[in-house]
Amino acid sequence: MGVTILAVLEILGGLLALLGGLGIMAVAGIAGASYSGVFGALGSLLGIIFIIVALISFAIAWGFLGGKSWARTLGIIFAAIEALYGLLGLIGGNWSSLITIIIGALIVYYLMRPDVIEYFKPVQATTPQVSTPPA
């Protein structure tokens, strides 16, 4: 159940990143045409980065639902980065970043639990035993 919730959160985060990336690229196109090509180029680059993050989020969600061990690893890495990002906000005086730190830490904790690790273990394929008929 918890892994499914994380997958849904990844999908929602991916959708937000995708919409944000497309929006940034649209605004960059308008700004690039109106002001300077530099605005358009930087905005497009930022939009592409957001879209890449969205695709990674969708892949992680798919991996969570399929019990892929690489998804667990990426989930831990991204949650740790989220917590560190929250820490930077907290250092900058943004006390609401404490929520970001707590959520990131809880996700890392959850993905490190033994039962969750067991869920993400690859299934060993077994070869069927063929018995020979008695002679």
DSSP class of residue 64 equals: H
- Residue 53's pLDDT is 94
Above pLDDT 70, what percent of the chain? 90
Distance spanning both ends of the chain, measured CA to CA: 52
Question: Which is more confident, 131 or 61?
Answer: 61
| Cβ pair 97, 86 in contact under 8 A | yes
Burial profile 94-103: b = 16 or more Cβ within 10 angstroms, e = fewer? eeebeebbee
> What's the pTM?
0.80
Digit-coded pLDDT (tens) for 69-120: 999 999 999 999 999 999 999 998 889 899 999 999 999 999 999 999 999 9
